[in-house]
Amino acid sequence: MNQSHLAYLAGPAWAKTLRTELLPWLRRTADLGDDVLEIGPGPGLTTDLLLELAAHVTAVEIDPHLAAQLRDRLGASGRTAEVIAGDATQLDLPQGRFTAATCFSMLHHMQSPAAQDRLFARLHAALRPRAALIGVDCLDTELIRNGHVNDTFVPVDPATLGDRLRAAGFTDVVLTRPNEYQFRFSARKLAEAAGGV
C-alpha cells in the first residue's frame, strides 16, 4: 500500500466516514455474533468498530509492520483482539469457528482474482453455518486508480462477485452501491444439512 493511501486510512477523515457510514450499515446488515474474523485491517480503524459490536475479533493483516502496530495499539488501550500477521489465503484458520467474517476495502489490494477467490473459499471454511461474510470494496474509477499509483490495484467487478461468492459456497448474496466509489456485499454460509456438512 502506498504511503499516502495508508496515511488516509489511518486518519480522522476516514475514521469519521467509517463511523457515520460503515457502522450503521453493519448494524443493519447482520448480527456479527461474538467471534468475528477481520481480513486486512490495515491501521485498524475498522477493528475498533468491530470491537464495539463483537466480544472477540481476530484480525489477519498481511503486512507484519501494520499487524505489530495494531497489536501494540490495541494492547495499550486494553481492548482485546487477536492480531495475526500473515496471508489469510495461506494461514491455517480454524474451520467452522467464526460467527462472521469481514473484508473492508482490502480485496483490491490482493495480487489477483484467483487470490481473492482463494480467500472466499478460506473464509467459507472458517465460518459457522449461517454465519455472514460482510464486505466493502471500491469501484474501478479514475479517481480510485489515481489513489493507487505504485500500489497493488486489482478491482473486484461487482457484476461477477455474486457468482464468485456462490462458487465458494455462499448463499443469500446481496450487493449494493451506496455511492459512486464503492460497493457493499453480504453473503451467508449455508446451514449444515441434516446428518453433517
Q: Is 145 left (phi over 0), alpha (psi -120 to 50) or beta?
A: alpha
Coil, strand, or helix at residue 42?
coil
Residue 141 lies in a domain: yes
**Any domain includes 89:** yes
147, part of any domain: yes
Residue 2, pLDDT > 80, answer: no
pLDDT of 10: 77
First to last CA, the chain: 38
Q: What pLDDT score was predicted for residue 5?
A: 73
Please choose, from the candidates 72, 42, 76, the residue with its C-alpha nearest in 3D space to the C-alpha of residue 59: 42
Residue 197 lies in a domain: no
Longest dimension (CA), the chain: 52
Q: How many domains does the chain have?
A: 1
Distance CA 156, CA 185 (A): 11
pLDDT computed for residue 14 by the predictor: 82
pLDDT at 197: 44
**pLDDT more than 70, % of the chain:** 96
pLDDT of the residue at 194: 46
Does residue 170 belong to any structural domain of this protein? yes
* Digit-coded pLDDT (tens) for 48-73: 999 999 999 999 999 999 999 999 99
Spatial contact of 117 and 167, defined as CB atoms under 8 Å apart: yes
Cell of 175: 450487493
pLDDT digits (tens, 9 = 90+) for 175-197: 999 999 999 999 999 987 544 44
| Cα–Cα dist 85/63, whole Å | 7
pTM: 0.93
Average pLDDT, the chain: 93
Range of the domain at 173: 3-189
Within a domain: 195: no
Name the residue type at position 117. Answer: D
Task: Say which residue, 98 or 147, is predicted with more confidence.
Answer: 98
> How wide is the angle at C-alpha 148 spanned by C-alphas 142 and 152, nearest 5°?
120
Answer whether residue 194 is part of any domain. Answer: no
The domain that contains 22 carries what CATH number?
3.40.50.150
Distance CA(11)–CA(141), nearest Å, equals: 22
Average pLDDT score over residue span 25-34: 95
Q: Which residue has the cell 484458520?
A: 93
Mean pLDDT, residues 97-113 taken together: 97
Residue 34 domain-assigned (yes or no): yes
Comparing 54 with 149, which gets the higher pLDDT?
54
What does DSSP say about strands 170-176 and 56-61: parallel, antiparallel, or unpaired? unpaired
Whether 122 shows a pLDDT value over 60: the answer reads yes
